[in-house]
Structure formats: structure tokens, C-alpha cells
Amino acid sequence: MIQQKKLIGLLVVVLAASGAMAQQEVVLKISEGMPMISLALPEFVVHAASPTAQSAAQEIRQALSDDVKYSRIFQLLPKSYYDYIGRLVTADKINFKDWDSIQARLLLTGEVREDGGRIVFDGKIYDVKSERFIVGKRYQAEKNGLRLVAHKMADELLKLHGEKPIFTTKIAFVSNRDGNDEIYMMDYDGANPTRVTFNKIKDYMPAWSPDQRTIAFTSYRGSTAGLYLRNIYEGTETPIATKGTNYSAAFSPDGKKLAFCSSMTEEGNADIFVMDLETKKTKRLTFNSATETAPSWSPTGRELAFTTDRLGAGSPQIYIMDAEGSNVRKASFGGNYHDAPAWAPTSERIAFVSRVDNTFDIYVLNLRTNQITKLTENRVRNESPSWSPDGRHLVFSSNLSGSIQVYTVDYDGANLKRLTDRGENKLPNWTN
């Protein structure tokens, strides 16, 4: 049975396992502390080996390899292991015992051909131990869509193991690379940076909607900092809050509400508000003479973390309140500056920025154990953390290289990677 789906720039076909019995969905949930799953990714079979098809096969396989290595779930077997196998992969037969002999648990094969100027890629995933075909995908793409093909295939690996796809997600950020602070977006690995806003004024603090189609951001138009929504595919823009100063927008997990900070109050100080995006009705959540800012939704949508220097805090600290503004309690203790909370999609962690001896670093608070982990330690300014959808990685901005750039790091501080290098880049936000 073949199921066909249309995607932007790609044709995707799902290849189901043959046999009288319908194939059951295979999902294996990954937990922290479990050993990584060994995966073999042999060279792809190229049909009618044209230079174009050969080049496409190399590009797809390289991008797919990079995704697998980044995942923190799969361990790519070294290429040297394949030398122990006489025959790697043929189109009609998999020698599972050979792959088992080099300790491969999963096998991902690929076949590439050129068809009418487009590249066709067939990817198949096998369970080596059970000698079973799990799932296959067929993608058709132009030359500029080959990396997306790889990312989609890598996402299939994640979905098979009960994980949220991350390789086709985007990161929004602010850049002055074209002379003015504007909103841009890029792939999770820093590739394909694309400009989103085109203004002569400054745009800041982008925040993705859950459907990955809309970005909320602050724009300095006229005499105030207003809050706007931009549909990145339709190119439309809608003002949301333009009275007073409005910033730090955050969509609720269901996409129906927008939390933000505003000085629209009579007192003129910054408080946290929530807007119903359908009715445009706004509700004030905090009533305090202190500055309340940086709201971040819990994955359930029932709570908000935020920053406040209210009486008793002594300095900016992280607090948590229910989504209606009640049950306010302190989450961070010690230190003289905690800001920019980012609630992990796995619920139990909140990343935040802390200043110690005039150095800003990223920390992670485990809400179950109250243990705090320091992720960055390089005596520079590290700010604006935002989680990947699977909660295994964070994106943030840092002047580690001298100029402000965007980096990613794993939840335990490993695998620091720089994503940007043109102009200055900051305030990143990863899609949910």
C-alpha cells in the first residue's frame, strides 16, 4: 500500500511493509541515561549514475549523517566498520547478520536517481535484530531541496522512537547583517538564513507560534514599541498591542493565547498580560510596582515562569504563577540576577540567565530536584536561551567570538556549536 502526501517543495511517499498483516506503528520512547542506538548509514545506491545523482546522494547522506550525530539519541557507526562486511546493501536483499556482526541496531539505506531533472530519494529503515523493515519514504526534490529531504528522513528516525521532530524546525533571530535590526529565520543547524521583516525601523524579540507559521515580535514604530504578528508564508502583518511599550511575547502551547510584557498600565511600569488571539481580549496577570517580564509558558499551558524584582526578591529572580495569575511562587534562589526563563518542552527544566561577577551565563533549573546546572562558563555574555522541541538542545546568543552570534548547546553543556557569522545576531527563538 502506498500513501501519498504533498509537502512544500517535496513529494513524499510512505512505503509500508509488505505482508498479509498490517504493519504496526513502532515507537520506542527514549529516556535520559539510556545508551544511544547504534545506526548504520552505508553509502547510497545510485541508479543510472549521473554526476547530478551522485552529487545529490553525497549531499543527502552528509546532511543525514550530521542530523544523526546531533540527535543525542543515535550513534552513527564509523565508516571503517563497514569494511568488515563483504556486501553492503543491494536493492533486493539486506544481509542482516552482517550488520548485526558490527553491532548495528538500526540500518538506514538509500537509493537515489534522477527523474526529469528532479532527484528521487528512497530511504528505508530496518531493525537489524528482528530482521524487519520498519518504514520507508520516497522524496522528490529540486537541487535546493536536498537538505530538506535529509532532514525529513532524520525526523522519521525521531518519530519512530517517540521523539519530537527537530531537523525540519526553524530558529528565528534578530540580525543587523543588512544594516538594520530585522527578524530572520534559519534551519536548526544555521543553514538557509532567510530575512522575514523588511523595515527601516528596529525589530526585536521574535517568538514562534506552535504551528510554525507566525512570528510575534516587537517593532519600534513611531514613539512606542508595539507588538506585531507576521505570517511568514502569507507575508501579512497584524498589530497586536501598540499602547505603551510591549515586548517578550510568548505563544501558549495551543497557540490560542499570547503572553507578553507591557507598560500599558496606568502606573506605567511593566506587567505581564495575556491576550486571547481569537477575541483579542487582554487580561492583566500581574499587579505590582516592580518590573514583571519575560513570560514563558509551561508545556501544559497551565503555568507561566517570569522574571520580577518585586519586593522580597531583592534583585531579578525567576517566579512561577498559574496561567490566570494566581499561586505566585519563587523558583530561583540565591544570586543577584536571574532573568529570561525558558521552560523546557519536557516540563521538568527551566533555563535562565544569571549574572555572577558581571558575567552572564546560561543555567538550567531542574524543577523536580531543584538542582541547578551551569551550561556556559567562558567569561563572556551568554543570553536569550530557547529550547529545541525535544528538550535536548538550547539555542542562545553570545559574544564568545567577539561579536554577538547565535549558538546551540546540549542540555548538559556539551556540543557547543556556532550557527551564525555574518553581522551581529541575537535573541534566538526555536520553533516549538
Say how far apart CA 372 and CA 331 lie, in whole Å: 11
Q: Is there a domain that residue 137 lies in?
A: yes
**104 and 178 share one domain:** no
Record the pTM.
0.90
Half-sphere exposure at residue 423, Cβ-oriented, CA atoms within 13 angstroms: 14
Q: Who's near 269: CB < 8 A, 6+ residues apart?
A: 263, 288, 289, 290, 291
Residues 144 and 277 placed together within one structural domain of the fold: no
Same domain, 155 and 180: no
3-class DSSP state of 189: coil
pLDDT of residue 30: 38
User: Quick one: which of 93, 111, 102 has its CA closest to 43?
Assistant: 111
Q: Cα–chain-centroid distance for residue 392?
A: 9
Q: In the beta sheet, which residues pair with residue 366?
A: 349
Verify that 247 and 185 share a domain, yes or no.
yes
Round to whole Å and give the CA distance between 427 and 353. 13
End-to-end alpha-carbon separation of the chain, Å? 32
Q: Rounded to an integer, what is the distance from CA 143 to the centroid of its chain? A: 24
The rounded distance, in Å, linking the Cα atoms of 215 and 82 is: 45
What is the C-alpha separation between 366 and 349, in angstroms, rounded?
A: 5
Q: What is the DSSP letter of 112?
A: E
Q: Take residue 387 and report the three cell numbers written for it.
A: 529550547
Contact indicator for 405, 176 with CB cutoff of 8 Å: no
- Domain membership flag for residue 385: yes
DSSP 305-338: EEEE--TTTSS-EEEEEETTS-S-EE---SSS-E
Q: Are residues 6 and 52 in the same domain?
A: yes
Q: In terms of residue numbers, what domain contains 31?
A: 2-160
The whole-angstrom separation of Cα 138 and Cα 117 is 16
94-104 residue pLDDT tens: 889 889 999 99
CATH number assigned to the domain comprising residue 74 = 3.40.50.10070
The predicted pLDDT at position 104 comes to 94
Last-in-domain residue among 160, 186, 203: 160
Pairing of strands 74-76, 393-398: unpaired
pLDDT for res 199: 86
- CB burial of 12-22 (b: ≥16 within 10 Å; e: otherwise) equals beebeeeeeee
CB 149 within 8 A of CB 121: yes
Number of domains in the chain: 2
Is position 165 within any domain? no
116 and 185 inside one domain: no
Q: Is 45 helix (H, G, I), strand (E, B) or coil?
A: strand
Residues 200-253 pLDDT 10s: 889 999 999 999 999 999 999 877 899 999 999 998 999 999 998 999 999 999
Neighbouring residues of 301: CB distance < 8 A, sequence distance ≥ 6? 252, 253, 254, 257, 323
Confidence at residue 80, expressed as pLDDT on a 0 to 100 scale: 86
Domain edge (last residue) among 135, 160, 185: 160
Q: What is the pLDDT of residue 27?
A: 37
Locate 62 and state its grid cell.
552528509
Are 336 and 363 found together in one domain? yes
**Stretches in the chain below the pLDDT threshold 70:** 1-34, 86-92, 311-314, 334-335
CA 232 – CA 195 distance, rounded (Å): 10
Among 107, 139, 160, the domain-final residue is 160
What are the beta bridge partners of residue 52? none
Between 51-70 and 146-160, two packed helices, what is the crossing angle to 10 degrees? 40
d(Cα 58, Cα 350) in Å, to the nearest integer? 39
Q: Report pLDDT for 313.
A: 53
pLDDT at position 47: 87
Q: Are residues 101 and 245 in the same domain?
A: no
* Same-domain pairing of 187 and 266: yes
Give yes or no: residues 361 and 414 share one domain: yes
DSSP letter, residue 381: B
